[in-house]
Amino acid sequence: MNSVAPFAHEALFYRDEDAFLSGTAGFVADGVDCGEPVLVAVPEASIGPLRERLGGRADEVHFIDMTEAGRNPGRIIPGVLMAFSASTQRRFRMVGEPMWPGRTALEYPACVQHEALINTAFEGRPGVILCPYDASALAGHVLEDARRTHPVVIDGERRVASEWYTDPSGLADIYNVPLPPPPPDAEEHPFTVGTLAHLRQLVARHAHWLRRVQVDDLVLAVNELATNSILHASGRGVLRMWREGGTAVCEVSDSGSGFPPSFTGLSGFGIVMVNLLCDLVRTHTSHSGTTVRVYLGR
């Protein structure tokens, strides 16, 4: 008989630092005392106070600044949570705060899709993920979506099954929203398999003001998206490029239906790689095709 508890995904609503520390420190301490590997991925400002509250137990915990590691919401599952859980065969325990005050409206749909996809990506795995939400600073619709993406919600002394919990794929579809239109001065370049080398040159030239490693990352990401368009859509697509302040923006559009990210196999690995390389990845799929837009800045 298998005595390992199933995967759990819980939201913690807190309204001040003490409530955050009370809700997370007990959760982390229980994991340490049970010999479970524990990851805490929260904004850097919260790490110091939590270390202090944990005392000596903090030495057994792996801490990550989520505002850096999770700047791109699409990077969190493969690059933070999966990377940690794959390092152990034991039941794991993780604190992950992907939605903090200051997240932009452009990032928000990707955050909700991330939280929904956790339920699919970790289904059947032995562990628990606790996601803190600052209920005093985040908008009401953010907390409503947290109730839709987490089967269990903890609010003060109450720990209840969420009656608003929604099928992950359905909620991800709800946030499959159109992207803001490119600016009028955006460069536009149609491409086919025979023009991929030229496409890579165009991207490198467009992003020349970034650091060399960033230019290489952007070229690799756009090449992966363009190759996917050629292989899985009509054999052609359109690249658009522009600059937003200190950020290079590239989008690839085609007539295909896109493909969902896979965290357990090779299918969809390309889009996972793109998420690992870029600061933000936004995707919109409709009856007319798929657009993937990537952001990379200093």
Model pLDDT for residues 161-214, shown as the tens digit of each residue: 999 999 998 888 899 999 999 999 999 999 999 999 999 999 999 999 999 999
The band of 263, judged by pLDDT with boundaries at 50, 70 and 90, is very low
- Per-domain boundaries in the chain: 8-174, 187-297
- Give the pLDDT of residue 256: 77
Q: Within its chain, how far is the Cα of 219 from the centroid?
A: 21
Query: Which residues does 143 contact at the CB level (< 8 Å), separation at least 6?
Result: 13, 133, 135
Both tokens of residue 207?
């992003």
User: Superfamily assignment of 8-174 in CATH?
Assistant: P-loop containing nucleotide triphosphate hydrolases (3.40.50.300)
User: Which residues neighbour 71 within 8 Å (Cβ) at sequence distance 6 or greater?
Assistant: 279, 280
Give the fold, CATH level 3, of 187-297.
Heat Shock Protein 90 (3.30.565)
- Both tokens assigned to 144: 């409503």
Q: What angle do CA 276, 147, 82 make, to 5 degrees?
A: 25
| Residue 79, amino acid | G
Q: Do the first three CATH levels of 8-174 and 187-297 match, i.e. the same topology?
A: no
- 159: how many CB neighbours lie within 10 A of its CB? 11
Percentage of residues in the chain having pLDDT higher than 90: 84
Q: CB-based contacts of 102: which residues, under 8 Å, 6+ apart? A: none
